[in-house]
Structure 1
Amino acid sequence: MDRGPLDRWRPRLFLAATLAVVVTFGTLGASHWQPGARPVDALGLLLALVGPVVLLALPRRPALAVLLAVGALGAYLALGYAWGPVLAGTVGVLVMVVLTGPPARARVVAWSGALLMWGVVLAAAALRDEPARFPGLVGGAAWTAVALMVAGGVRERVARAAALRAARAERERTAVATERLRIARELHDVLAHSLSAINVQAGVGLHLLDRDAEQARSALASIKATSRDALDEVRAVLGVVRGEDERTAGTDGADGDPENTPRVPTWDLAALPRLAEPLRVRGVAVRFDVDPALDGALPAHLAGVAYRVVQEALTNVGRHAPGARSVVVRAAREGTGVRVTVTDDGGPPGPGADGAPGYGLRGMRERVEGAGGALVARPTGDGFAVDATIPLPADLSGPPHGMPDARPDSPGRGERGET
């Protein structure tokens, strides 16, 4: 931190005004109580006030301020004016130097100025032939050192407080950005999947409207149910934005502490099959191979991550794999984690899928990596595969359940475009 407490003009004005009053009245009083000293006149008062003036006027030029203050003090003492509060003006300049500008430079200039000041004061005492004052002057030098150390301590404390405030503000900005990203991810997942399903079902309904009214009616009913579910999920996400308690029952964190409950909607893996309806309407065969041991066994926040990965992967199949005829979804324990894969035979990307990374794939990666896992998404054979590994908490250790190896082993040819 290159700025000190006295880099602001108001505290510097207060210190300068206080010193000016102390020096003026103190010098007049000292002249009255030291009969042998030269009476204070306009010149003496002007020299005594140099310190407060340069303290206010030269904060950006500390070396020049110290030289002017020490020079004026030396001239004041050499001319025989009274000892006393005149020294406070120069000490005030040294304190100002400690509390302004870059700290390293301030320390060097201030302590060098202190040595120069007391060298000049002792020299003036020797010229005035007042050896009896030497013990008192040495004590004054010690008090000057104490003043500089106290000023240095004040500066360090102010700097620490400013650093803590900056760190707190940065944490708050990061927390806000993280929450915004999480909400954006939730809205994207809900809307992308639901709107894609509604679009497919609406197309089917329009196609069958004149030929098969019963199937068209069924498509409209599916659209109504899908839109209702989407609205419920959007309300849950917006409840987070408003600070309302919209958490789904049974969504406690891994440790059961409500404070650690993720403020996002979560689902159990038993709800995965409902995600396949839009694809099944198109005639795509979707097969689920979910380890029964995972049903209700995963912490809700991890189940939510797995759910969203499957949801986004199936949405991408519907949007970007027009040639897909079959999709396989697998979820099982593997080692110390859960492995979730979604593979399809959809062939190359469809029209409009330029292969550029989008929000969906980015959101999947952020979710999985936020849970400490890893995600691979790449073409494989004639289709595409999404492979996510999510680590389990240590208290859920147990014998892993096997799962066929569905990890794509062909070299990546780029990521298929997605929502």
Structure 2
Amino acid sequence: MDGRWTALVARVRAYFGVDTDWERVPDDSPRQRRADLWVALGFLVAGSLGVELLRSIDSLGAQQDSWVWPHVAVALGTLPLIWRHRWPLLVAAGLSLHLFVFGLLMPAVAVSMPMQVVYFLALFTGVAWARDRQAMLGVVAGVVLLMFGWLAWQLAVGSGVEEAMSRGDEPLVHQGLFSPAGAYVVYTLLINVFYFGGAIIGGQAAWRAALQRDRLAAQARTIDAQATSLQRQAVVEERLRIARELHDVVAHHVSVIGIQAAAARRVLRRDPDAAEGALRSVETSSRDAVAQMRGLLGTLRADDHEGTSDGSGPGGRTRAPEPGLADVTTLAREASTHGLEVECHVVEDVPGAAASVPAPLGLSLYRTAQEALANVRRHSTASSATVFVRVDRRPEHGFAHGYAEVEVLDGGRPRSGTSGTGLGLLGVRERLSTHGGVSEIGPRVTGGYRVRVRMPLPEEAS
């Protein structure tokens, strides 16, 4: 029995939100205060009109000859509605007491239609707007006990049943399924159950609806904040990506320009007329490097909202397409100049597989090959390098939908005095972690250096 009672109490507390930290704060704006003022004045006019109508049909009982006190009772019962949102529990408790007192002193006024609506509205507002749910539950329990206690006293001790059971001096005749006394008691109880129960349940439903709206609004704010955070994170990641791209472009082209400049100097000494071609190569590499750096810096500096959905850059300028895995052969051909011979071998499970590799994955592999070839020029004595591009869409362990990889091999020794900053290989590893691939970077047992990066293909590319 104790367990059932505890469970029942817990359910009641949960239903009324007693253990909830959320508080429904009323809108204390001038507009809300004016609305409550007009509601109170409207019920004051309706209640006063009801009093005059009752007096006109001789239904005020002992107060029939007095016009002051019934109107005072109406004013005391309607004007507190002005503060029904600011102090909902106080107004609900006060008007419930008003119903009890004037139900005894002026029953005709208390049971008039305008005042019954006022009492209902006060109890409804108290339940719907109470910030302290524990106190609200106490007030509601007190109101229900008071009203039904008074009703029980009227039915059991008072003359309510006797007056209802007689019509004039003659008692009522038993005509229906129920006895007159039993029917009157049940009918009165049902009216009050629906009256008070409707106010309480309706007010609680309004409170829970407001709680749900507030939670949905909080979720919307959280989602919006998360979307903003993700957008900012995406911008930061994009700028980091551009920074890596800028490093790769500069490193590759500067190393090429250095080699070409040295070659031009040697040619210039031997044959000034033949130096024009070498200098033209330096100029071409310089222009290419500057063009790519301008494109990257323009993207980096562009405002987040300047781009368009069709890939246009700032001011509506269309950015050039970024290189992909299929462009590695062109990269190898361009790198094979002035003392470094580069061969490129493409191994595909089906023709055209390299071109179908998704753009982000292909760009990362392209930049990996570009960085590796730049490192060969800067840090190795090798006169040749070999690039392998492999695409295999057959599933294997660790690569459920196949893989794409690049491998750069050289047979030289480290060149003294050319130790780098390590940023290039750091960028390679960052790209690798982004796509969840594996790598093999370091000296080879047979001599030379290997940079091998393998990245998984996504499902749609398999």
Instruction: Give the alignment's TM-score, normalised by structure 1.
Output: 0.65
Q: State the partner residue of 2:118.
A: 85
Q: State the partner residue of 1:225.
A: 284
The equivalences for 1:37-56 within 5 A come to 39-40=72-73, 47-54=80-87
**Is the alpha carbon distance of 1:46 and 1:241 closer, same or farther for their aligned partners in structure 2, counting shifts above 3 Å?**
same
- Name the CA distance, whole Å, in 2 between partners of 1:391 and 1:183: 22
After superposition, the CA RMSD in angstroms is 4.3
Whether 2:371 is the aligned partner of 1:307: answer no
Q: State the partner residue of 1:122.
A: 144
The equivalences for 1:118-197 within 5 A come to 118-126=140-148, 132=188, 134-135=192-193, 136-197=195-256
1:59-113 Cα distance to aligned partner (Å, 9 max, x none): xxxxxxx5x455544554455375433554564454445xxxxxxxx7xx54x45
Equivalent residues of 2:353, 2:391 under 8 A apart:
no
Q: After alignment, is 185-194 or 12-21 more displaced? A: 12-21
- Name the CA distance, whole Å, in 2 between partners of 1:379 and 1:46: 91
**Is the alpha carbon distance of 1:53 and 1:235 closer, same or farther for their aligned partners in structure 2, counting shifts above 3 Å?**
same
Equivalent residues of 1:209, 1:216 under 8 A apart:
yes
**Is the alpha carbon distance of 1:5 and 1:247 closer, same or farther for their aligned partners in structure 2, counting shifts above 3 Å?**
farther
Letter paired with 1:347? P
Shift of residue 271, structure 1, vs aligned partner: 0.8
3-state DSSP of counterpart to 2:85: helix
- Name the CA distance, whole Å, in 2 between partners of 1:199 and 1:294: 39
3-state DSSP of counterpart to 2:414: coil
3-state DSSP of counterpart to 2:72: coil
**Is the alpha carbon distance of 1:247 and 1:188 closer, same or farther for their aligned partners in structure 2, counting shifts above 3 Å?**
same
- Name the CA distance, whole Å, in 2 between partners of 1:285 and 1:180: 34
- Name the CA distance, whole Å, in 2 between partners of 1:85 and 1:122: 16
Whether 2:373 is the aligned partner of 1:340: answer no
Gaps of 5+ in 1: 56-65, 98-105, 249-263, 398-419
- Name the CA distance, whole Å, in 2 between partners of 1:87 and 1:174: 54
Whether 2:352 is the aligned partner of 1:329: answer no
The equivalences for 1:388-399 within 5 A come to 388-392=453-457
Equivalent residues of 1:20, 1:89 under 8 A apart:
no
Shift of residue 371, structure 1, vs aligned partner: 4.8
**Is the alpha carbon distance of 1:216 and 1:272 closer, same or farther for their aligned partners in structure 2, counting shifts above 3 Å?**
same
Shift of residue 342, structure 1, vs aligned partner: 1.7
Whether 2:36 is the aligned partner of 1:19: answer yes
- Name the CA distance, whole Å, in 1 between partners of 2:460 and 2:204: 60
Letter paired with 2:407? T
Equivalent residues of 1:204, 1:219 under 8 A apart:
yes
**Is the alpha carbon distance of 1:83 and 1:286 closer, same or farther for their aligned partners in structure 2, counting shifts above 3 Å?**
same
Letter paired with 2:201? A
Bigger Rg, which one: 2
The equivalences for 1:60-99 within 5 A come to 66=89, 68-77=90-99, 79-80=101-102, 82-85=115-118, 88=121, 91-92=124-125, 94-96=127-129
**Is the alpha carbon distance of 1:354 and 1:232 closer, same or farther for their aligned partners in structure 2, counting shifts above 3 Å?**
closer
Shift of residue 388, structure 1, vs aligned partner: 0.8
**Which residue of 425, 433, 442 corresponds with 1:361?**
425
Equivalent residues of 1:196, 1:315 under 8 A apart:
yes
**Is the alpha carbon distance of 1:384 and 1:95 closer, same or farther for their aligned partners in structure 2, counting shifts above 3 Å?**
farther
Equivalent residues of 2:249, 2:292 under 8 A apart:
yes
**Is the alpha carbon distance of 1:42 and 1:171 closer, same or farther for their aligned partners in structure 2, counting shifts above 3 Å?**
same
Letter paired with 1:125? M
**How many pairs align?**
351
Equivalent residues of 2:442, 2:450 under 8 A apart:
yes
- Name the CA distance, whole Å, in 1 between partners of 2:96 and 2:244: 71
3-state DSSP of counterpart to 1:291: strand
- Name the CA distance, whole Å, in 1 between partners of 2:22 and 2:415: 62
Shift of residue 5, structure 1, vs aligned partner: 10
**Is the alpha carbon distance of 1:353 and 1:393 closer, same or farther for their aligned partners in structure 2, counting shifts above 3 Å?**
closer
3-state DSSP of counterpart to 2:408: strand
Shift of residue 297, structure 1, vs aligned partner: 3.4
Shift of residue 39, structure 1, vs aligned partner: 2.1
Equivalent residues of 2:388, 2:407 under 8 A apart:
yes
Equivalent residues of 1:122, 1:134 under 8 A apart:
no
Letter paired with 1:297? A
- Name the CA distance, whole Å, in 1 between partners of 2:262 and 2:27: 71
Whether 2:438 is the aligned partner of 1:374: answer yes
1:358-391 Cα distance to aligned partner (Å, 9 max, x none): 2x33443444455553334334456543211133
- Name the CA distance, whole Å, in 1 between partners of 2:204 and 2:82: 22
- Name the CA distance, whole Å, in 2 between partners of 1:287 and 1:187: 25
**Which residue of 431, 439, 451 corresponds with 1:386?**
451
Identity of aligned residues (%): 27
Letter paired with 1:291? V
Q: State the partner residue of 1:102.
A: none
- Name the CA distance, whole Å, in 1 between partners of 2:460 and 2:431: 21
Whether 2:343 is the aligned partner of 1:274: answer no
1:257-285 Cα distance to aligned partner (Å, 9 max, x none): xxxxxxx34353331323424xx53x345
3-state DSSP of counterpart to 2:366: helix
